[in-house]
Structure 1
Amino acid sequence: MDRKNAELGQGDNHQKSASPYAIPVAFNRMLGHVHHADGSTGVVFCNPWGFDELCTRKFHRLVAAEMARNGISSIRFDYPGEGDSLPLEGPVSFESWIVAALAAGAELRQRSGCDRIVYYGMGIGAAVAVKAGCRDPDLAGVILAGASLNGRRYLREVALREKVIEDGIDIEFGYPSGATVLAAYVMDPQLAMDVKSLDVELTDLPDDRPVLVLARPDNLSDRQITDQLKSRGVPVESLDFDHYGAMLDGVVTSPMPLELIDKIALWTQQLNETKPETDASPAPVDTVRHLNGDGFCETAEQLDTGLFGVFCQPAHDTPSAVIVFLNMAYAPHTGWGGLWVEAARHLALDGIATFRVDLSNIGDSPAHPEGPEQVIYSRRQLDDVQIVIAHVRKLIKAPILLAGGCSGAHSALYAGAESPDVAGVVSINQLRLVLDPDEDIETTLKAGARPIGDYKRRAFSTQTYRRLLAGEINMVQASRHITGYARAYLSRIFSPYLGGLTRLGRLKGELFALLKTLERRRVPVTFVICRTDGSLDQHVLYFGKDLRGAAAFGHLRHIILENADHTLSPPSVRTEVIDILRRAAHDLSSGR
């Protein structure tokens, strides 16, 4: 059976829920997703932290869906203060994560009727899985995926990865001194202290409980975990964690180890026990989907098409406007570094509602059965946005503003022009104002965000020549980038004279027609761009030097962010972007 249809619950499967999708649930001030099945064994997913969780959210959804098809129920959830969950009133401790995992196990038992739990942990979540599993008297087994069981080693790896990120971008990030940071995620100081002293011993696990190790390629510590368990006589199996590095490299593409997913599901299926036919089904449990925060309330929404989103609104006031946040590439609805969650809760305090959503095949939303595997910049995404707009219109009658970054900005601009219900658009760091139909999407996404000036600097760098001679540079890929920029440069020179006869002339005609459509409807468009990622180059390409061509559109404005990167990492920049969104929403509600 096709994997897409399997996840959507179409065909022969073991799901017993009336809904073919995972059911969003709120419990203990946390938000989770329950995948129902009939077996006696369930799985609790213990996430990695921060950026790694962002990159693996889709992977874990697919694993959980395949498990459900094999009769294993599961729950995926966000730790307190992470993802969609509400923060704790005080500092976050590692103990609070263990308690959260045990609470998720209790929630799964109550909802599915399972009585034995497998704790799955990835990254630092593996330490949570071991600790929680040792406290659960009905432990069925443990899955350790790319496990980080030594806190000091883990924090060193995080610091090294962040250094690589920051060294490639010439800005001041402005993170708190001594903070543990990775790709705009800042770890709670108390949690960082707890992790630093963490050294998880596997000897506490029962000898008769099976363990599955998903081993990273050429990783010594993963092999040591397997060897240590074998020496104790623990029933352990090791699988190669295919595509691990590619998966954690970012969210611009979405490589999924489908064979590994099948193997994980089959391993858990072996732990399942058939319930006696005389066993009664678990008593119905009311599904709570609301989280009440300080000045805001959030509701997990599941559209008929399976799309998942979170509606955030002021706790007491009637919203003056609603902003729909769209995905940037494969980053889930929480946003890079949790930006959309942070923005939603701040804006609610100013009387502005928001809807952060996962479009098809991203984050917590399953793939459309007839949609493409590569959904970024696809027609499927624009159709999804129209479905989301219709859903939001049912929730609230306030003016709707679409906002997104990069590919999400592209979706916001195009869907805004198509839908008469859209009253405003905020496009952030849009690297393709118009997508050339001859452009290869995979190549474009993998090229990343980089200004033309950076390519020029690298082209004349002695370090580049050394890497070239050493064979470290992919000449085919580099040639494509250089040829593409050269073509754009020549097209920019000749397009004013040749108009639609040039590629740029045709693309510019498409963009300007779209902007004129928005202009006729008096829909304000705000382009937010930074200097370090190539988005400014893109706007210069279409609007000319100093962006003077934008003056032809009365409802169009540009805002240039200083000291910003493509993913809006610096805390000061995130504050500025939230303020831009606030002003755009207030302008809509006031009719300006």
Structure 2
Amino acid sequence: MRPVVFDGQFGWLHPAAGPHGVVLCYPFGYDALCTYRGMRRLAERLAMRGVSVLRFDYPGTGDSAGDASEPDLWRAWIDGIRKAVALLRQSAGIERVSLCGLRLGGTLAALAAQELGDVDGLVLLSPVLSGKNYQRELRAGYRQWLSMPAAMDCTPEPDTDEFVEAYGFRLYRDTIESLRAVDLRRDAPAPARRVLVLDSLDATRVDALVKHYREQGVEVERQGFGEYSKFMMEALDSEIPRAAFESIENWLAGDSTASTAEVPSGSAYAGDVEGHIVEADVTETPVSIEGGRLFGIYCAPLAHPATGGGASAPAVLIVNTGAVSRIGNARLGVRFARRLARQGIASLRVDLGGLGDSQPSLDAVTLDALYAQDGADDAACAARWLTARGHGGAVLLGICAGAYVGLHAASREPAVTGAMLVNLQKFTWRNICDENGKPTVRVAAIGSTRSYLRSMCEPRKWLRVVKGQTGGWPVARELATRFASLLRATLADRIERITGLELGASEERRPFAALEARGVETRLLYGVLDEGVEELKKYFGVRGIRLQRLNRVRVVFCEHTDHAILSASAQENVMSHFEDFYRSRFGEKLSAAEVKAKTKAEAEAEAEAEAEAEAEAGDSVAAHCNGSRTRAAQWLVKHARAFRLSGEA
């Protein structure tokens, strides 16, 4: 397979020897993140059956140029599919082209096929048939996410007609209106010579659409899609819909005798793409690292395309969040890379081995794989690539599992000169998955202590206990265990201060000792309600007090910052904190053209909050994003100081 760029759109071409080509049309937003690995595997499977495949990002999505807030995006998405078809037709030997779309991608594929008029086949995987229903689905998904413990401290987005948000991705007003006006029976009455529909969501509407197509003389085959729900799970848990993919392959590949069992776990990259402009003064270049085993996007200011600001400037290395591709949750990796480039700072957003578009290409990813030392080795390799390009090292940004990878890469790779580790949940990892890749133990017990103490103030929680709908003993036992661990850690710290003897947590301390010895500037950033705070307290005391003895490591706690950095407030917190960290530690001055520049009031508020935190914490390394404390935390400080529960804030 090889990367391609056409009219600002980024994609991958999987060439094959046959005369048939297929354009894969991604779903929207979070759905695309969940199914990215599966769609890549489908492209590879089709290529092994002799069908050339082009998969790509629509304008304003993925690695393509543009932003989701731009006007006329709906039209641009349809035109993007048409341009992808034109590019595929230019490939040698392609005689006919089909389209295959998932969810919103299916709807767009049908509309584009109708306009093209010469599409051979159309595969619709649970297409969006009602814009109103889809809008309600997105809103429901957002409300569901807000009810989860991971989103407890988030600032909810306003209920507005200007946009609909789901898991950090937005559809804006004009796109919503365009979608709501779509009627496939009217707008795409006969989109292709033949159509395959796989759907298990909207039987009535699908029946009507299939009937309409048959009345128009279209050859239609309909099948169920019982694997849909497992396919659409978050990236780590998403399961390849094997039965559905086999049906698609057979339907598209026809009489090919190639076996799907021959699909390899990786294929070499072929061809290079030169740097291209994605917005004013910002250029991006697809790059392969270590012979094509790792893939990334190098983003740099146009004025300094070689080193992005000069040979002495460190570049930023952005690694995967969990099993999500380099694009990042809510497209954070892409947006932040371009924001940094506008300030004169180059970056590389890279897929670690087995993730995104790096090798090997896998059917499934496990937690053990995410936390394996191979990931740290891959991050170190990417850092060396940046150094070889002329940068004065790499400053690493990692979130969740990416923070773990970043910690261990920074602790031993000389090319890494700094690291910001966001919501780091584990300092060490011991394999927990069985032979099927499923965790054999609970990864996290009940969330952060503070989140549960806060939830205990909600009357509806107690009402469920009174009604017998839930029990309180498991929570009480877990809290008691955590309090005991906290007391042990506090006692160990006191003994260590008095005697100088190091008690426990030696393995957890080792990477931080290495960071200190190598002089790597490191910042740990936690949301105040993040589960990782419990791990920090367990091994390093309240507010990570033991880490304050290190000169190069600082711990920061930030309100309104969810674990996966999906909310707009969390994204801004991470980006602004990283910019401050980079500027203060590495001497880079942010440009006046910074799009998200802080206002004077914001800067004063942050300075006031930090001063207040330092006054309260004394010699603590922790700082607040703002100085406000919840009433629950204030009560606990007053009445349960022995447990120091306020240390999370």
- Is 2:63 the partner of 1:84? yes
Change beyond 3 A, Cα 1:449–1:481: closer
For 1:434, which of 425, 428, 432 is the aligned residue? 428
Match in the other structure for 2:408: 414
Match in the other structure for 1:362: 355
Over residues 461-482 of structure 1, what are the superposed CA-to-partner deviations in whole Å (9 max), with x where a residue is unaligned?
8866887999998x9xx99998
RMSD (Å), alpha carbons: 3.6
Q: Residue 428 of structure 2 aligns to a residue in which SS?
A: coil
Match in the other structure for 1:313: 300
Deviation, structure 1 residue 357: 1.3
Q: Residue 333 of structure 1 aligns to a residue in which SS?
A: coil
Match in the other structure for 2:395: 401
Distance 1:220 1:443 in 2: 41
**TM-score, normalization by structure 2:** 0.76
Change beyond 3 A, Cα 1:269–1:181: same
Number of residue pairs aligned between Structure 1 and Structure 2 = 553
Q: Relative to structure 2, which stretch is displaced further, 546-555 or 141-150?
A: 546-555
Q: Residue 164 of structure 1 aligns to a residue in which SS?
A: helix
Instruction: Check the 8 A contact 1:24/1:289 in 2, yes or no.
Output: no
Over residues 16-46 of structure 1, what are the superposed CA-to-partner deviations in whole Å (9 max), with x where a residue is unaligned?
xxxxxx2111111111111111111111111
**TM-score, normalization by structure 1:** 0.83
- Is 2:346 the partner of 1:353? yes
Match in the other structure for 1:177: 160
Q: Residue 160 of structure 2 aligns to a residue in which SS?
A: coil
Deviation, structure 1 residue 400: 0.5
Code of the aligned partner of 2:276 = L
Deviation, structure 1 residue 358: 1.4
Q: How does 1:489-508 map to 2 (within 5 A)?
A: 489-494=483-488, 508=505
Deviation, structure 1 residue 562: 1.3
Match in the other structure for 1:294: 280
Deviation, structure 1 residue 225: 4.1
Q: Residue 330 of structure 1 aligns to a residue in which SS?
A: coil
Q: Relative to structure 2, which stretch is displaced further, 206-215 or 423-432?
A: 206-215
Over residues 266-310 of structure 1, what are the superposed CA-to-partner deviations in whole Å (9 max), with x where a residue is unaligned?
221118799xxxxxxxxxx98544320212100011232432210
Code of the aligned partner of 1:62 = R
Q: Relative to structure 2, which stretch is displaced further, 219-228 or 66-75?
A: 219-228
Deviation, structure 1 residue 542: 2.5
Q: Residue 352 of structure 1 aligns to a residue in which SS?
A: coil
Distance 1:195 1:44 in 2: 21
Deviation, structure 1 residue 238: 3.3
- Is 2:59 the partner of 1:66? no
- Is 2:254 the partner of 1:270? yes
For 2:179, which of 195, 220, 224 is the aligned residue? 195
Deviation, structure 1 residue 93: 3.0
Instruction: Check the 8 A contact 2:167/2:330 in 1, yes or no.
Output: yes
Give the number of the structure whose alpha-carbon radius of gyration is greater.
2
Deviation, structure 1 residue 415: 1.0
Distance 2:401 2:225 in 1: 29
Code of the aligned partner of 1:121 = G
Change beyond 3 A, Cα 1:202–1:567: same
Match in the other structure for 1:578: 575
Instruction: Check the 8 A contact 1:322/1:401 in 2, yes or no.
Output: yes
- Is 2:35 the partner of 1:56? yes
For 2:4, which of 25, 33, 56 is the aligned residue? 25
For 2:419, which of 412, 415, 425 is the aligned residue? 425
Code of the aligned partner of 2:297 = V
Q: How does 1:478-557 map to 2 (within 5 A)?
A: 489-494=483-488, 508-557=505-554
Distance 2:442 2:57 in 1: 28
Instruction: Check the 8 A contact 1:37/1:112 in 2, yes or no.
Output: no
Code of the aligned partner of 2:523 = T
Q: How does 1:150-299 map to 2 (within 5 A)?
A: 150-168=130-148, 169-170=151-152, 171-174=154-157, 177-178=160-161, 179-201=163-185, 204-206=188-190, 209-216=193-200, 220-222=204-206, 224-226=208-210, 228-229=212-213, 234-270=218-254, 288-292=273-277, 293-299=279-285
Distance 1:468 1:260 in 2: 43
Change beyond 3 A, Cα 1:186–1:591: closer
Q: Residue 439 of structure 2 aligns to a residue in which SS?
A: helix
Q: Residue 187 of structure 1 aligns to a residue in which SS?
A: strand
Q: Residue 346 of structure 2 aligns to a residue in which SS?
A: strand
The percent identity for this pair of structures is 24
Change beyond 3 A, Cα 1:173–1:462: closer
Match in the other structure for 2:374: 380
- Is 2:13 the partner of 1:34? yes
Distance 1:530 1:545 in 2: 14
Q: Relative to structure 2, which stretch is displaced further, 558-567 or 245-254?
A: 245-254
